[in-house]
């Protein structure tokens, strides 16, 4: 326990926020600073083939221990934290023996069970929070800490038999570029698991199909005193466009397998406006319908003004990994049994988001997602129970042992 907690707190304090506007890879140099330290740590604990490539990917190998001809298992986590909230000067705090009451932090931030009832599951446990001024970074520093801790245990234990294991730590997952340059062939795993999930027990092999829509609106600015039948207010056109999308299909009104349109940004004035929308759905058919509807709305507005005042660009980002996992469902069975053997109740669910594993699965590396234990990612209300982190380490150890029995 002391090892994984100390390791996680050390990682959480290091500033690794990615930048969606950057044109470099990785998107921030601070990720490389952390990666270089991670390389030294991995070498220090005795891992083989430790290297960092030109894109910042860190990989390493745990040799097989007493097992021959077993599949090579990969374990993957990302080092960057979300740009949605500050990840600089993170100050992790251990809230000992959580008593079920609101956790009061700085800046008026309170993790109140009335708003976050899931925290009540962990009464009597030690939990880790930030101090209210930053996110905590359990997404995905917890995954990194759990993998490294499990690796150290495997290297120092002759009792746990397993095949060859490959580790990878990636940058820029939070800005959707985590696998842009990942060399699946060189990684040379038969299948892998991302340690990037939420609460204890989560096991996920379905995720959203995802696209980004960028919309540019060209208005016409005329003095308001003489604007009749002349002015085209780009902001109002943007508002009309947004209002024509189904209100029930917004993130705040959806759950489980329900997809959505997410208004990410709206900027503009009378002359020009820009909208950024995210389109998400687990069903590929409904995903396609959502894109078609947005295209129809744009076409209708342009017909109304009898000119192309709205320009739409839709870019697919990633797809539901289920299609790639279903032919190899034994890797889900392994993870499920690994949890049961650790006295963890599996909670198989669909990700309302995406992971590096989604894209890797389409690149030829089947890669479902396993819990790390954290809650409320990307903001100051984030927390992670220490016992959940310990169970994650145990599940990793169980996975590699079970995989070692496959011939």
Task: Name the nearest CA neighbour of 79 among 171, 167, 166.
Answer: 171
Domain ranges within the chain, ordered by starting residue: 2-207+320-403, 209-318
Residues 273-308 as b or e (16 or more Cβ within 10 Å = b): bebebbbbbbeeeebeebbebbeebbeebeeeeeee
Q: Do domains 2-207+320-403 and 209-318 have the same CATH topology?
A: no
Q: What is the pLDDT of residue 311?
A: 98
Q: What's residue 53's pLDDT?
A: 96
Give the pairing type, strands 310-318 and 209-218: antiparallel
């000119």: which residue's tokens?
307
**Which position among 80, 146, 152, 174 bears the catalytic label?**
80
Is residue 363 annotated as a catalytic residue, yes or no?
no
C-alpha distance from residue 152 to each of 14, 66, 182, 194, 308 (Å): 21, 17, 24, 18, 60
Query: What pLDDT was estimated at residue 305?
Result: 95
Question: Residues of 24-34 as b/e, b for ≥16 C-beta within 10 angstroms?
Answer: eebbbebbbeb
Q: Is 80 a catalytic residue?
A: yes
Helices (H), 28-72: 29-44
d(CA 337, CA 397): 12
Tell me the backbone φ, ψ of residue 374, rounded to 5 degrees: -85, 165
Peptide bond into 26 cis (omega under 30): yes
pLDDT at 323: 92
- CATH homologous superfamily of 2-207+320-403 equals Zn peptidases (3.40.630.10)
Catalytic position from the list 172, 173, 174, 196: 173
C-alpha distance from residue 128 to each of 36, 116, 336 (Å): 26, 15, 26
Per-residue pLDDT of the chain (407 residues), as tens digits, is: 789 999 999 999 999 999 998 999 999 999 999 999 999 999 999 999 999 999 999 999 999 998 889 999 999 999 999 999 999 999 999 999 999 999 999 999 999 999 999 999 999 999 999 999 999 999 999 999 999 999 999 999 888 999 999 999 999 999 888 999 999 999 999 999 999 979 999 999 999 999 999 999 999 999 999 999 999 999 999 999 999 999 999 999 999 999 999 999 999 999 999 999 999 999 999 999 999 999 999 999 999 999 999 999 999 988 999 999 999 999 999 999 999 999 999 999 998 888 889 999 999 999 999 999 999 999 999 999 999 999 999 999 999 999 998 86
- Look at residue 211 in the predicted model and tell me its pLDDT: 95
CATH topology of domain 209-318: Alpha-Beta Plaits (3.30.70)
């Amino acid at each position: 326990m002391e090892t994984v907690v100390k390791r996680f707190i050390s990682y959480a304090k290091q500033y690794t926020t990615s930048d969606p506007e950057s044109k470099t890879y990785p998107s921030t140099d601070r990720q490389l600073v952390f990666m270089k330290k991670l390389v030294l740590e991995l070498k220090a604990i005795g891992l083989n083939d430790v290297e960092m490539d030109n894109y910042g990917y860190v990989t390493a190998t745990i040799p097989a221990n007493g097992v021959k001809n077993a599949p090579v298992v990969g374990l993957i986590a990302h080092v960057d934290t979300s740009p949605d909230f500050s990840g600089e000067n993170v100050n992790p705090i251990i809230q000992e023996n959580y008593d079920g009451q609101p956790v009061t932090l700085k800046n008026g931030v309170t993790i109140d069970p009335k708003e976050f009832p899931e925290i009540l599951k962990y009464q009597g446990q030690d939990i880790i929070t930030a101090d209210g001024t930053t996110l905590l970074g359990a997404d995905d520093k917890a995954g990194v800490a759990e993998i490294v801790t499990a690796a150290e245990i495997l290297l120092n234990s002759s009792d746990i038999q397993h095949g060859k294991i490959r580790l990878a730590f990636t940058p820029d997952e939070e800005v959707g570029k985590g696998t842009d340059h990942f060399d699946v062939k060189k990684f040379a795993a038969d299948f892998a698991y991302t340690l990037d999930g939420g609460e204890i027990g989560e096991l996920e092999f379905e995720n959203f199909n995802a696209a980004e829509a960028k919309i540019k609106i060209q208005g016409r600015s005329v003095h308001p005193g003489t604007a009749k039948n002349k002015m085209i207010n780009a902001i109002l056109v943007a508002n009309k466009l947004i209002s024509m999308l189904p209100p029930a299909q917004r993130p705040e009104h959806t759950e489980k397998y329900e997809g959505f349109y997410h208004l990410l940004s709206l900027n503009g004035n009378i002359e020009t406006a820009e909208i950024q929308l995210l389109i998400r759905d687990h069903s590929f058919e409904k995903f396609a319908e959502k894109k078609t509807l947005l295209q129809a709305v744009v076409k209708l507005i342009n017909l109304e003004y009898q000119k192309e005042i709205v320009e739409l660009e839709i870019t697919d980002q990633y797809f539901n990994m289920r299609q790639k996992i279903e032919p190899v469902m034994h890797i889900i069975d392994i993870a499920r049994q690994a949890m049961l053997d650790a006295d963890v109740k599996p909670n198989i669910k669909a990700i309302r988001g995406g992971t590096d594993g989604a894209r890797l699965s389409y690149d030829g590396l089947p890669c479902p997602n396993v819990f790390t234990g954290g809650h409320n990612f990307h903001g100051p209300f984030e927390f992670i129970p220490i016992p959940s982190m310990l169970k994650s380490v145990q599940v990793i150890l169980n996975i590699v042992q079970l995989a070692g029995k496959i011939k």
